[in-house]
Structure 1
Amino acid sequence: LVNGVANNSVGNSDEAIESLEIGLDFLIDDPTMEKDYFEQLSAAYFAKGNNKKAEAFAKRAAEIKLPN
């Protein structure tokens, strides 16, 4: 997640997407982190101009219910 955030912050959207998609494979029962991954993927796809994928990831992030 940290690598993806760092790449997003310096405009390396392709590297961010690659890192974040790999990281999703290793998530286990952590809705907070899953939401963060989806939000970062959304930001990376928006930066690339792929609004359809960006909106899909934003929607997935919004659908995650976080524990109280």
Structure 2
Amino acid sequence: MGNGAKAQQRRERGGKDAGKGGKSQLKVNEASKSIVCGTCRQSFMTTARAPALTAHAEKHSKALADCFPDFKV
């Protein structure tokens, strides 16, 4: 029995782990985007800070409070 056959047997025996897939953060990150720009409807993560949101509001030539009225500093 060669090494290729042993590896194949190991894969078959460990088949219960094969269906699990990777541990992706994509769904969690999408769910945590609760800050939404009132002008363009772009969403930001809840951990976004005021300077990043202010920079986004400046792209619209508006103030932070105009684009994000619900944002608490």
- TM norm. shorter chain > 0.5: no
| Greater strand fraction, Structure 1 or Structure 2 | 2
Larger Rg over CA atoms: 2
Q: TM-score, normalised by structure 1?
A: 0.28
| Greater helix fraction, Structure 1 or Structure 2 | 1
